[in-house]
Amino acid sequence: MPFVTTTEMFKKAYAGAYALGAFNVNNMETIQGIADAAADTRAPLILQVSAGARKYARHVYLMKLIEAAEADTGLPIAVHLDHGEDFEICKSCIDGGFTSVMIDGSRHSFEENIRVTREVTEYAHSRGVVVEGELGRIAGIEDDVSVSDEDAGYTMPDEVSEFVERTGVDSLAISIGTNHGAFKFKPGQTPRLRFDILEEMARRLPGFPIVLHGASSVVPKYVDIINGSGGAISGAAGIPEDMLREAARMAVCKINIDTDLRLAATAGVRETLISSPAEFDPRRYLAPARENIRETVRDKIINVLGCDGKAF
Ligand code: G3H
Ligand code: 13P
Ligand code: ZN
């Protein structure tokens, strides 16, 4: 099966009140861990690649690895560019076989965001590729761009219909209080998401798929392993799972997860090297990293996203 777009996936997810996981990939172990979990649970997959991942692993290696995941599992897989910052990177990924791209024009003015997003949708749609836009600013680090909490503005429902209409985007990333990375809330701060904004958007754009970025839960088990083995990420905090489940039942059809995979992999490597300090075979510490990713993704699919069994 060739790679698929997210069109059918989102239609079914919206109607079925569940969400797809969009998992960031950088290397073979991550792709295998995710693909194994999706095969275990018969879940459709969105594998996403950031500019940084593409620079690190290189386009052709990632494509071949994702092709291998598809051949190995037979699952429907969409290959997506995460946070494309301009037309050129979107074009390069479309020309290079991705079935979905994100153009993240959220740092621009409303008009400039519309202009660049429209440029990408015109190019993408004429080649059968779908496009995710972003409206509102999501805090955290995306590649070299750092958005502070203060600058992260919630998406304004008033702007959404006009943005979707004028750009022709197929899905939209919005800001309702999630943010990127492992420190989403300050110590003592009560996690809060603006479900009222999400509800209002669904009312104005019935059936339109919404995307949630910065949606890792920052799995406490892995934070503890990292901190307990000399790591220094105390104060790490993520989005509570019940809030993600709620979002998945609403208009959110795609939930982006990267940080939780990084934590799972790092915990596996640290635990192995601490318990076996003489180990220097990378397979011995990368296999536990891959297994932790598999476990994490399985848990997300079954207990958070609700997309298990939806592959066929
Ligand atoms: O939203 C950002 C993703 O977590 C990708 O991170 O740009 O460091 O690969 P990265
Ligand atoms: P997390 O940092 O919460 O995993 O978010 C990832 C993301 O939004 C990728 O686009
Ligand atoms: Zn993101």
1 falls within a domain:
no
311 falls within a domain:
no
Q: Which residue has the tokens 């891959």?
A: 290
310 falls within a domain:
no
160 falls within a domain:
yes
pLDDT-above-70 percentage for the chain: 96
pLDDT in tens, 190-202: 999 999 999 999 9
Tokens (6 digits) for 224: 């503890």
Q: Could you tell me which of 56, 100, 58 has the C-alpha nearest to residue 78? A: 100
277 falls within a domain:
yes
Residue 225 and residue 214: Cα distance in Å, rounded? 22
- Domain containing residue 250: CATH number: 3.20.20.70
Helix 195-204 vs helix 157-167: angle between axes, to the nearest 10 degrees?
40
Our count of domains for the chain comes to: 1
2 falls within a domain:
no
Residue 258 near residue 80, CB atoms below 8 Å: no
pLDDT in tens, 90-143: 999 999 999 999 999 999 999 999 999 999 999 999 999 999 999 998 766 444
Residue 17 and residue 189: Cα distance in Å, rounded? 29
DSSP letter for 179, please.
B
Q: Which of 30, 141, 239 to mutate to test the pocket of ligand 1 (most atoms within 8 A of CB)?
A: 141
Instruction: Look at the pTM and tell me if it is higher than 0.85.
Output: yes
Residue 91 and residue 70: Cα distance in Å, rounded? 23
312 falls within a domain:
no
Choosing from 36, 40, 72, 82, which is the catalytic residue? 82
Which residues constitute the domain of residue 18? 7-305
pLDDT, residue 141, reads: 47
pLDDT, residue 144, reads: 45
pLDDT, residue 42, reads: 98
pLDDT in tens, 17-56: 999 999 999 999 999 999 999 999 999 999 999 999 999 9
pLDDT, residue 148, reads: 52
- Ligand 2 nearest atom to the CA of residue 82, by list position: 10
pLDDT tops 50 at residue 57: yes
**Average model confidence (pLDDT) for the chain?**
95
